[in-house]
Structure 1
């Protein structure tokens, strides 16, 4: 159990997969990026909200004191953001 938690703490892509959302290759690359800023330019319904929600969830759990802001211009997208935040499986 501790080894799974440590692995998920070190790898946000594994964290997303363990939460039941296996990341696409581009999502895994995004999650593993160490860049302080990232621009996601992609088509509709590709999983941008899901992957940013997974990254926010990972930071909230494994980086104490993190300030997490998920912002959007469109109201409909803002309403969907909480649905994209990953909930880890029991035991985390």
Structure 2
């Protein structure tokens, strides 16, 4: 795996779980996975992007980071998150 040396944090949101990885000079120094139910988080984000007609690869990040009032989804199960949207 090639990692930009300036990168010190990686968030991986998958279909089964989510991970936080902390790096120093390309070496993993800390790693943690979600503790609460977040099964399907990646699929959930894809479904929401599709409902909103947003390209998850090209637009999703930009829209999320530029939001004046981002959705607070917490660390709940995606079944409950969907009802909050």
Please state which band the TM-score falls in when normalised by the shorter chain.
Answer: under 0.3
Which has more helix, going by share of residues?
Answer: 1
- Could you state the TM-score of these two structures normalised by the residue count of structure 1? 0.22
**More strand per residue: 1 or 2?**
2
TM-score, normalisation: structure 2: 0.23
Which structure has the larger Rg over C-alpha atoms?
A: 2
Which structure is richer in relative contact order (CA contacts within 8 A, separation 6 or more)?
Answer: 1
